[in-house]
Amino acid sequence: MPAREEQRSIRSDATFYGHIVGLSLERGDLPYSAEFPGKMYARFEHSGQSSTYLVPDWELFTLLARHLCDNARMRMETGNYAYAKLWIKKTKEGWSVYVP
């Protein structure tokens, strides 16, 4: 995750992000602090570039986790994940994470 640079958030309009390669939770002062982590992150790769975005809610985080698991399986079985380029959008029904 980028330190001290302005963090971009995943947007609700249809946007291409690339291949999901990681998910993480903000650490916080665990394990005995009353403070708890409040931010979730997703990391994407495309054309040799890596980008990290804030994930706005747990529903989207859950959908991205499924795609991350699929990417891991594809990577182990085929050696790449070229077919898992993700587009993300939010509609009145909720988040949509899809491969065109």
Handedness of CA 65, 4, 88, 20 (dihedral sign): negative
Q: For position 78, what pLDDT does the model report? A: 85
Grade residue 2 by pLDDT with cuts at 50, 70 and 90.
very low
What count of residues does the chain have? 100
Amino acid at 29: D
Q: How much is the pTM?
A: 0.82
Quick: pLDDT tens for 13-58. 999 999 999 999 886 665 666 666 678 999 999 988 999 999 999 9
pLDDT at 82 over 80: no
Tally DSSP H helices, then E strands, for the chain: 1, 6
Q: For position 1, what pLDDT does the model report? A: 47
pLDDT at 68 over 80: yes
